[in-house]
Amino acid sequence: MITEELNNEDLKQVEDFWNTHLCGKQFVDAKFPSKEFFELYRNFRYKKTHHLDTYIDWKGAKGKDVLEIGLGIGADGSRWAQNARTYTGVDLTAEAVYATKIHLDHLGLKGHIVQGNAEALVLPSNHFDIVYSHGVLHHTTNIENTFREVNRVLKPKGEFIVMLYSKGSFNYWFRIQFYFRLRLLFEILKNKLGGSSKGDWALHVKNFKQEGWSYLSWNNFPHRCTDGPDCKIANIYWQSEMVKMLENSGFTIEKTKKAHFPIGGHFPKLERFLASFMGFHQIIWARKR
Ligand SMILES: C[S@@+](CC[C@H](N)C(=O)[O-])C[C@H]1O[C@@H](n2cnc3c(N)ncnc32)[C@H](O)[C@@H]1O
């Protein structure tokens, strides 16, 4: 990898997890990495995460240099690469770099896609007009390092668009802390009585057996309830915490929006309305001071 060696075991775990769980791959039933696979993935993504095409001004990247941090399968990357003067993508994992490169190739788009760590970017200072990071930086070991790095690589007055998981949400309080917790207690009891669990619940039960009651603690359990039970770092923040960290890292907040209410993208208008005050995805537009 092209990043500075951090000698950070936790970050290695993050890398290992995402290398073996390419973000979103499980939702598409087609051969990876075929052209059909990427097409189906984009259809799925912009149906389920429909607010992205409404809230993110991809076309506003015309004539601009864009950096994306945390690539997954490279769908948003293809949106930026279609519009920007230059598109650079960085991800901690070889797998996301591979997927994004092939995705862009299939669409005939250009990008400079590299493996690297957002906490220590090997990229020049004062270079990018826009840095975009969607659903990524809550998974890293030190988010404030990443905000300082983003500030460094942005040009003066450059824009940072970031999505992080929100504590002020239905998903956090009702689905995770209440329903998932009760459901896991039920699954544990079922297993004790000789039954078995399926899918993610089987993984939760396995983790509970290994880690004991601390697995279900107020602070630990939510980490394991967003991107799968084996994803160990998934921080969920209050908006005020995100704003404070960004301001401390040299940004001014310009706009915030909440999105994503977990009803599967079937009723986009209702979902957007509910998400506007209880959504799990907190999007923040910040500007380098
Ligand atoms: C949940 S996926 C999100 C991907 C994509 N942005 C999306 O919305 O589908 C998280 C991605 O962030 C990457 N990631 C996590 N920590 C990172 C870090 N410190 N530096 C760079 N990438 C990181 C992971 O490798 C993974 O590909």
Residue with tokens 């299939």: 106
| Interatomic CA distance for residues 271 and 266, integer angstroms | 8
| Interatomic CA distance for residues 106 and 232, integer angstroms | 33
Cα 230 to ligand 1 centroid, rounded to whole Å: 15
CB-based contacts of 149, cutoff 8 Å, min separation 6: 118, 119, 120, 121
Alpha carbons within 13 A on the beta-carbon side of 142: 11
pLDDT, tens digit only, all 289 positions of the chain: 334 444 589 999 999 999 999 999 999 999 999 999 999 999 999 998 999 999 999 999 999 999 999 999 999 999 999 999 999 999 999 999 999 999 999 999 999 999 999 999 999 999 999 999 999 999 999 999 999 999 999 999 999 999 999 999 999 999 999 999 999 999 999 999 999 999 999 999 999 999 999 999 999 999 999 999 999 999 999 999 999 999 999 999 999 999 999 777 678 889 999 999 999 999 999 999 9
Ligand 1, from 5, 48, 71: best to mutate by most atoms within 8 Å of Cβ?
A: 71
Cα 92 to ligand 1 centroid, rounded to whole Å: 7
Q: Could you tell me the pTM of the whole model?
A: 0.96
Whether 163 contacts 236, CB under 8 Å: no
Q: Which two tokens stand for residue 156?
A: 């003066």
Cα 24 to ligand 1 centroid, rounded to whole Å: 11
Q: Which amino acid is at 73?
A: I
Residue 24 DSSP symbol = T
270, containing H or E segment: helix 268-278
Cα Dmax for the chain: 63
Ligand 1, from 5, 136, 150, 232: best to mutate by most atoms within 8 Å of Cβ?
A: 136
> What residue ranges do the domains of the chain occupy?
9-166+237-288, 170-225
The superfamily in CATH containing domain 9-166+237-288 is: Vaccinia Virus protein VP39 (3.40.50.150)
255, containing H or E segment: strand 251-259
Q: Could you check whether the bond before residue 33 is cis, i.e. omega within 30 degrees of 0?
A: yes
| Interatomic CA distance for residues 258 and 59, integer angstroms | 21
Ligand 1, from 18, 141, 150: best to mutate by most atoms within 8 Å of Cβ?
A: 18
CB-based contacts of 134, cutoff 8 Å, min separation 6: 52, 70, 76, 162, 163
pLDDT of the residue at 245 = 98
Q: Which two tokens stand for residue 98?
A: 């591979």
List all residues whose CB is within 6 A of at least one atom of ligand 1.
14, 18, 23-24, 69-72, 90-93, 96, 117-119, 134-136, 139-140, 227
Cα 136 to ligand 1 centroid, rounded to whole Å: 4
Ligand 1, from 20, 52, 139, 150: best to mutate by most atoms within 8 Å of Cβ?
A: 139
SS (H, E, C) 136-190: CHHHCCCHHHHHHHHHHHEEEEEEEEEEEEECCCHHHHHHHHHHHHHHHHHHHHH
Cα 193 to ligand 1 centroid, rounded to whole Å: 39
DSSP string computed for 49-116: TTHHHHH--GGGGBT-EEEEE--TTSHHHHHHHHHBSEEEEEES-HHHHHHHHHHHHHHT---EEEE-
Cα 107 to ligand 1 centroid, rounded to whole Å: 22
Cα 23 to ligand 1 centroid, rounded to whole Å: 8
| Interatomic CA distance for residues 72 and 93, integer angstroms | 9
